Amino acid sequence: MPAAPPPYRNNDQKSFAYTSARKRWPTILTQAIDDLSRAIGALPADTPPATVAEGKALIQPISALLYDLDHDRRITPFDVPSPTPDALRDLPAYNADIAQLAPGQDTWLTAPWLVSECVLYRRLALVFQTAESDTWRKYDVFGASKLAAFASSQTGVVELATRYAQLASSTLPSLTAAVVKSIRHKGPAAAAVAAEPVAVLQELFREFVDVALWGNATDLSLLTNVKLEDIHKLQGNAARQANEANVLANDTADAWDAVFGDFEAAEDADDSPLTSQRVDFVLDNAGFELYSDLIFALFLLDSGLVKTVVLHPKSIPWFVSDVVPHDILDLVQQLQDPAFFKLDPESDARKALDFVGQRLEHYLGQGQQDASGGQIVVRTNPFWTTHLSFRDDLGPAGRAGGALAWEDLKDATLVFFKGDLNHRKLLGDLEWPRSTSFLAAIGPTLAASGVRLITLRTVKADVVVGLPEGKDTELAAAWARKNPDSGDDGRGWAYSGKWAVVQYSEGAM
């Protein structure tokens, strides 16, 4: 195992951390202040004056955070109230690592990127979490921008729903029936019967991995300068196919083989479900990405490949666009709300959206009962909004909920980690040479943790591993040729979200 390199830091001009801390974070905090000001202005006339006053007062700690960032102040520890409410139980772990920041690496513009970025979003969330009034304690400061982005995704949303509705009404049931039949009648002839439908199921699995992968290309923290109208160009089947060659590592087939490769092993094919597998999604962004994840979940459940899907959203607003539980329920309602996506009530598009919405509602409803059929369960854990890396803390000794998360994920047959930030945490956001193997970079604890995982990530930050020797140089040279004025010597390829990796760990103990 190679020794762990140092983390990316905010004062490294060669890292995207440098511009992130200096340009993107101030923009994001300013947008948060704007959002809060608008929300105060939009309060109903009968709002208690104390709530209005509290809203105005909340602007101050956000401005103070912006000031500290702009003036490169030291990152100070969180005040942890005693007794500590459950929702703040993660703060001592933050403080322990803030205290460990070395002199010269302990300010907003010099600290390790991952730690400081998480502290930034944690501080912002804390402003609201500790508010007196319900209005502000429950307020999602990124809610409006998530909503607007999803509303502007109609083209991609309809395309995917139409594709899925067609599949679910014809192809999927017959495929499932063929596979179930062959499992029931074991023997050489049955294997031949099953071979073709299984191959089609595998092909569909690959397609939905792709959908969920490129759904990650449109996250709002990166799109601070992009118009919402441009988002739909990144979505849709044509865009995905054009991007096929940009998947730099693709272990989808390994994950399929490990989980679904042997249908003979699925002994409990009682009714329609083929297996009793549980697949988890450690979610990333709301809006179109969440929608693409949910469509994937529907495919897994409706095909009978999987019996339970567990979704792991964040428990507080996070990195602008990340999913919090209300985003899931909101999305299901929005799909079925004629005023949200305005479509001809008789159109196939409207019927497809209603169909997808109803299927999701069905599985989410099942999750609340002790259901014997397929179900979608939603579970939060404060660990997902700490600064802690998965290579260090997603294991038996994991801090701030890491051990609990590990216990939970071990029970899944496969865990999808979505997006860039989760990927950075898997690898520790360390300066790995880009030809390092994925398993070496996630480290021995996680690689042998009993958690079988696959990461679907469009690359938007420096840390990338698993590339063939020379590939990074080749990509950088091509990027520099195409973007001669960028001044980044081609490093920008890794911040663009145009390339992706799908990487897998068996988790064998």
Contacts with ligand F6P in 32-91 (CB under 6 A)? none
CA–CA dist 403, 390 (Å, integer): 10
- For the record, the structure tokens of 219 come out as 């996250």
The DSSP secondary structure of 163-225, one letter per residue, reads: HHHHIIIIIHHHHHHHHHHHHHS-SHHHHHHHHHHHHHHHHHHHHHHHHHHHGGG--TTTGGG
- In angstroms and rounded to an integer, the radius of gyration of the C-alpha atoms of the chain is 23
Considering the complex, state which of residue 165 and residue 465 has its C-beta at the smaller distance from ligand F6P. Answer: 465
Query: By CB under 6 A, is residue 117 in contact with ligand F6P?
Result: yes
117 binds, among ligand F6P, Mg ion, none (CB under 5 to 8 A by kind): ligand F6P
CA–CA dist 424, 429 (Å, integer): 5
Query: By CB under 6 A, is residue 419 in contact with ligand F6P?
Result: yes
- For the record, the structure tokens of 254 come out as 């390994």
What's the min distance (Å) between Cβ of 222 and ligand F6P?
5
Q: Please give the backbone phi and psi of residue 418, each rounded to the nearest 5 degrees, phi first.
A: -100, 135
DSSP-derived secondary structure letter, 494: G
- For the record, the structure tokens of 402 come out as 């890491």
| Residue 13 neighbours by CB distance under 10 Å | 8
Considering only 143-151, 232-240, 324-332, 417-425, which stretch makes contact with ligand F6P by CB under 6 A?
A: 417-425
223 binds, among Mg ion, ligand F6P, none (CB under 5 to 8 A by kind): none
What is the residue type of 280? D
What's the min distance (Å) between Cβ of 205 and Mg ion?
24
- DSSP β-ladder status, 453-458 and 500-505: antiparallel
Considering the complex, state which of residue 240 and residue 424 has its C-beta at the smaller distance from ligand F6P. Answer: 424
Considering only 229-237, 312-320, 391-399, 448-456, which stretch makes contact with Mg ion by CB under 5 A?
A: 312-320
Please state whether 275 falls in left (phi above 0), alpha (psi between -120 and 50) or beta. Answer: beta
- For the record, the structure tokens of 454 come out as 């696959």
What's the min distance (Å) between Cβ of 252 and Mg ion?
22
What's the min distance (Å) between Cβ of 240 and ligand F6P?
16
Counting DSSP H helices and E strands in the chain, the numbers are 21, 7
Query: By CB under 5 A, is residue 121 in contact with Mg ion?
Result: no
Query: By CB under 5 A, is residue 319 in contact with Mg ion?
Result: yes
The answer to whether the CB of 355 falls within 8 A of the CB of 336 is no
Query: By CB under 6 A, is residue 221 in contact with ligand F6P?
Result: yes
Considering only 41-49, 214-222, 243-251, 301-309, which stretch makes contact with ligand F6P by CB under 6 A?
A: 214-222
What's the min distance (Å) between Cβ of 262 and ligand F6P?
33
What's the min distance (Å) between Cβ of 196 and ligand F6P?
36
Considering the complex, state which of residue 183 and residue 421 has its C-beta at the smaller distance from ligand F6P. Answer: 421
The DSSP secondary structure of 417-433, one letter per residue, reads: EEHHHHHHHHHTTB---
Considering only 161-169, 217-225, 390-398, 498-506, which stretch makes contact with ligand F6P by CB under 6 A?
A: 217-225
Query: By CB under 6 A, is residue 391 in contact with ligand F6P?
Result: no
The answer to whether the CB of 500 falls within 8 A of the CB of 459 is yes
Contacts with ligand F6P in 321-340 (CB under 6 A)? 321
- Bridge partners (DSSP) of residue 282 are 312, 417
Which sign, positive or negative, has the C-alpha torsion 245, 248, 251, 252? negative
CA–CA dist 214, 421 (Å, integer): 15
Q: Which residue, 13, 27, 22, is CA-closest to 69?
A: 22
Considering the complex, state which of residue 146 and residue 460 has its C-beta at the smaller distance from ligand F6P. Answer: 460
Binding residues for ligand F6P, rule CB under 6 A, total 17
Considering the complex, state which of residue 221 and residue 436 has its C-beta at the smaller distance from ligand F6P. Answer: 221
From candidates 216, 275, 449, 503, binder to ligand F6P by CB under 6 A: 216
Query: By CB under 5 A, is residue 284 in contact with Mg ion?
Result: yes
Contacts with ligand F6P in 274-313 (CB under 6 A)? 284-285
What's the min distance (Å) between Cβ of 419 and ligand F6P?
3
- List Cβ neighbours of 169 (8 Å cut-off, separation of 6 or more): none
Query: By CB under 5 A, is residue 322 in contact with Mg ion?
Result: yes
> Burial of 386 by CB count in 10 Å (0-12 exposed, 13-18 middle, 19+ buried)?
buried
The DSSP secondary structure of 133-160, one letter per residue, reads: SHHHHT--TTHHHHHHHHHTTHHHHHHH
From candidates 123, 387, 424, 452, binder to ligand F6P by CB under 6 A: 424
The answer to whether the CB of 142 falls within 8 A of the CB of 276 is no
From candidates 105, 176, 252, 285, binder to Mg ion by CB under 5 A: 285
What's the min distance (Å) between Cβ of 459 and ligand F6P?
9
- Interface pattern 424-453 for Mg ion (x via CB under 5 A): ------------------------------
User: Coil, helix or strand for 454?
Assistant: strand
Contacts with ligand F6P in 12-41 (CB under 6 A)? 16, 20
Contacts with ligand F6P in 435-494 (CB under 6 A)? 460-461
Q: Which residue, 165, 253, 152, is CA-closest to 209?
A: 253
Considering only 53-61, 236-244, 307-315, 321-329, which stretch makes contact with Mg ion by CB under 5 A?
A: 321-329
Binding residues for Mg ion, rule CB under 5 A, total 5
The residues that touch Mg ion, with contacts defined as CB under 5 A, are 219, 284-285, 319, 322
- Residues in contact with ligand F6P by the rule CB under 6 A: 16, 20, 117, 216, 219, 221-222, 284-285, 319, 321, 419-421, 424, 460-461
